[in-house]
Chain A
Amino acid sequence: GQSLEQPSEVTAVEGAIVQINCTYQTSGFYGLSWYQQHDGGAPTFLSYNALDGLEETGRFSSFLSRSDSYGYLLLQELQMKDSASYFCAPPNRDDKIIFGKGTRLHILP
C-alpha cells in the first residue's frame, strides 16, 4: 500500500526559513513531488526529486533521501503569500499519485 506522513500544521515568521517534512511508503517508488495549494484554489506543482539530494528553485528547495523514504520542502525568505497548504506526492510504479492531508503553513508578520 501507500502512505504519507506530513505535519498537519507549521508556523513560521515572515522572512524566516521553514522546513516541511514528508515520509512515505509506496510500492515502486519513482520520485517525490511537491504541490502548493492556497485556500480556495487548486494544487499547483512546485518541484520534483527523482534522485537523492537537494533541488533548488528560487526560494524553494526540495530534498530527497530514498534510503530513508524521506523528503522535505525548504522555503526561504518566507513571504505572507507563502501561507498555503503543501503536499508531498510520490508517483508509484502503477502511475498512481496519492496526496494526503498536507501541511498547512501559517506565516506570522
Chain B
Amino acid sequence: DAGVIQSPRHEVTEMGQEVTLRCKPISGHDYLFWYRQTMMRGLELLIYFNNNVPIDDSGMPEDRFSAKMPNASFSTLKIQPSEPRDSAVYFCASTLGPRQNTGELFFGEGSRLTVL
C-alpha cells in the first residue's frame, strides 16, 4: 500500500480564496483523522470519521471549515473563505481503529498551506 496520500503538498493562496485539501487513507482503515499543526498550537485534532461518518468535529475552528468523506477512500477538508491565520500544515491520518492492537495512526506527508 502507498500509505496515506495527501494533496496538494503545498498551497499558497490569497485571503478570501477557497482551499480544498484532499486525503486518501490506507485501504481497509476505518478511521480517518484531520489535524492541523502550528508552532503556537501544536498538533490539533480538527475532525475524525469512522466508516465515513463524522464522529467529532468539535475541533473545527469555525464555520469556514468543513470536511467530508463521501466514500472509504477519499476525504476533503475545505476552508472557505481562507484567512492568513489558517496558515499551517494540515495532516490526514488513518488507522484500523484507535483501540485495535496498538491503534497506530498512519500519517500522510501533510499539506502546507500559506494564506497571504
Contact = CB atoms under 8 A, between A and B. Distances in A.
A13 interface: no
| Interface range on chain B (Cβ under 8 Å from partner) | 20 to 34
A42 B109 contact: yes
Nearest to A50: B102
A89 B50 CA distance: 19
Contact of B103 (A33, A100, A102): A33
Interface stretch (A16-24, A63-71, A75-83, A91-99): A91-99
Interface in B19-61: 31, 33, 35, 41-45, 48, 50, 55-56
A43 B43 contact: yes
A43 B45 CA distance: 13
Contacts, number: 67
A98 B42 CA distance: 11
B104 A95 contact: no
Contacts of B48: 95-97
| Interface range on chain A (Cβ under 8 Å from partner) | 20 to 34
A104 to B, nearest CB: 10
Majority SS at the chain A contact face: loop
Contacts of B50: 95
Given A31-B99, A45-B106, A87-B43, 7 more contacts: A42-B108, A48-B102, A91-B98, A94-B55, A96-B98, A97-B103, A102-B42
A30 interface: yes
Interface of A: 30-31, 33, 35, 41-45, 48, 87, 89, 91, 94-102
A99 B107 contact: no
B105 to A, nearest CB: 6
Contact of A96 (B45, B91, B97, B102): B45
Nearest to B39: A101
Contacts of A43: 43, 91, 93, 105, 107
A30 B43 contact: no
B104 A101 contact: no
